[in-house]
Amino acid sequence: MKVTVVGAGNVGATCADVLATREIANEIVLVDIKEGVAQGKALDIWQKAPILGYDSRTVGVTSDYARTAGSDVVVITSGLPRKPGMTRDDLISVNAGIVKSVTEQVVAHSPNAIIIIVSNPLDVMTYQAHLTAKLPREKVFGMAGILDTARYRAFLAEALNVSPKDIQAVLMGGHGDTMVPLPRYTTVGGIPVTELIGKAELDAIVERTKNGGGELVKLMGTSAWYAPGAAAAQMVEAIVRDQRRVFPVCLELQGEYGINGVYLGTPVILGKNGVERVIELQLNDDEKALLETSRGHVKEVMEALDKMTAVA
Ligand SMILES: NC(=O)C1=CN([C@@H]2O[C@H](COP(=O)(O)OP(=O)(O)OC[C@H]3O[C@@H](n4cnc5c(N)ncnc54)[C@H](O)[C@@H]3O)[C@@H](O)[C@H]2O)C=CC1
Ligand SMILES: O=C([O-])CC(=O)C(=O)O
């Protein structure tokens, strides 16, 4: 299996490192526009192989898409991260151009690849890539839900003093303040979370999760990479190993939840064909209202992108 990661910055390099270290793909190509950066990081990952004991090959290239040809999966992380004081949506004008040009190159060289978008603002960059790639939504989708759910699970594990492995949860909606955590679908070793934690504490964890990206931006001056890179690698793994994992991913809703043509997170089954099935949850009225707020927000940013594209 051949996997390309575009963008050899914090998230892309971490993703490539997880893919190599866990031998998720035997050939990993890291691409960046900055001369030498992808080559250097790929070489460093390869030189770690004898120490940790793996045999996945990692190579790096500067904008040489010929080297990515025939990739089975491509992860797009290229683009600016936000700085303190910025929202993810502030990145739209720069990152839309990057995601568009990268997607064109990716599709030209790997027409059968499944494409995973990571660049922000995530939901609208998934829209941009899907428009550009002209592939079915099952082949072009975005990573956010695994990360947001992981943050929520980590906070719960800390509060309950249990293993994060035993917390099962799902979040929906846009990747931002309007994301839709679903405590009703959260369990701890099979036990509904509401039996183990009080409402006020759970509400505080939900709020912290919504601001999870911003919390890290404030601490570090740039956005997170360890969990995001690993989350993207976990999606790649589900595809290349045909695991049929159930994960929340961002894709174009086509009638699910009564929503059409808006890019939002929903649980899906991920396997060798990409999205094998979209799972439509039976939301209650409160959850539907939260999803509607999220839909409205993402739709506004999609329209901002449409306007920019019309002007350009
Ligand atoms: N979906 C999610 O949950 C998350 C999304 N992100 C987003 O991922 C993106 C990357 O974040 P970081 O890796 O931290 O940023 P970074 O600045 O460390 O890396 C970005 C890399 O993209 C490269 N790049 C820019 N234009 C390019 C092009 N045309 N072709 C190839 N490479 C190009 C840059 O040279 C740089 O090395 C940001 O937009 C960030 O907001 C970050 C974390 C989580
Ligand atoms: O917060 C950011 O800008 C990056 C991101 O999407 C996240 O870490 O959730």
Q: Which two tokens stand for residue 38?
A: 């992808």
Residue 70 in this model has a pLDDT that exceeds 80:
yes
Identity of residue 106: V
Q: Are 215 and 209 in contact (CB under 8 A)?
A: no
Ligand 2, closest atom to CA 120?
A: 6
pLDDT computed for residue 193 by the predictor: 97
Q: Which ligand is nearest to the CA of 10?
A: 1
Would you say 251 and 142 are in contact if contact means Cβ atoms under 8 Å apart?
yes
**CA 153–ligand 2 middle distance (angstroms):** 17
The average confidence (pLDDT) of the chain is 97
Residue 134: what pLDDT?
98
Task: Give the length of the chain.
Answer: 312
Output b/e per residue, 261-272; b: 16+ Cβ within 10 A. ebbbbbbbbbbe
**Is 11 assigned a ligand-binding role in the annotation?**
yes
Question: ipTM of the assembly?
Answer: 0.99
Under the banding of pLDDT at 50, 70 and 90, the label for residue 312 is low
Give residue 69's pLDDT: 98
Nearest residue to 124 via CA among 223, 252, 32: 252
Three-state SS across 276-304? Answer: EEECCCCCCHHHHHHHHHHHHHHHHHHHH
Is 7 annotated as belonging to a binding site?
A: yes
**How far apart are the C-alpha atoms of 298 and 224, rounded to whole Å?**
22
The whole-angstrom separation of Cα 246 and Cα 231 is: 13
For the Cβ of 216 lying below 6 angstroms from any atom of ligand 1, the answer is no
Give the residue whose CA is nearest to atom 9 of ligand 1: 119
In this prediction, residue 311 carries a pLDDT of: 72
Structural tokens at position 253: 């809703």
pLDDT > 80? residue 266: yes
Residue-wise pLDDT tens digits, 158-205? 999 999 999 999 999 999 889 998 999 999 999 999 999 999 999 999
Per-residue model confidence as pLDDT tens digits over 242-264: 999 999 999 999 999 999 999 99
Query: For 14-18, what is the mean pLDDT?
Result: 98
Q: Please indicate whether residue 175 is annotated as part of the active site.
A: yes
213-234 per-position pLDDT tens digit: 999 999 999 999 999 999 999 9
Is the pLDDT at 55 greater than 70? The verdict is yes
- Predicted confidence (pLDDT) per residue in 89-145, tens digit: 999 999 999 999 999 999 999 999 999 999 999 999 999 999 999 999 999 999 999
**pLDDT tens track for 269-299:** 999 999 999 999 999 999 999 999 999 999 9
DSSP-derived secondary structure letter, 242 = T
| Ligand 2: lining residues by beta carbon, under 6 Å | 81-82, 88, 120, 147, 175, 213-214, 216-217, 223-224, 228
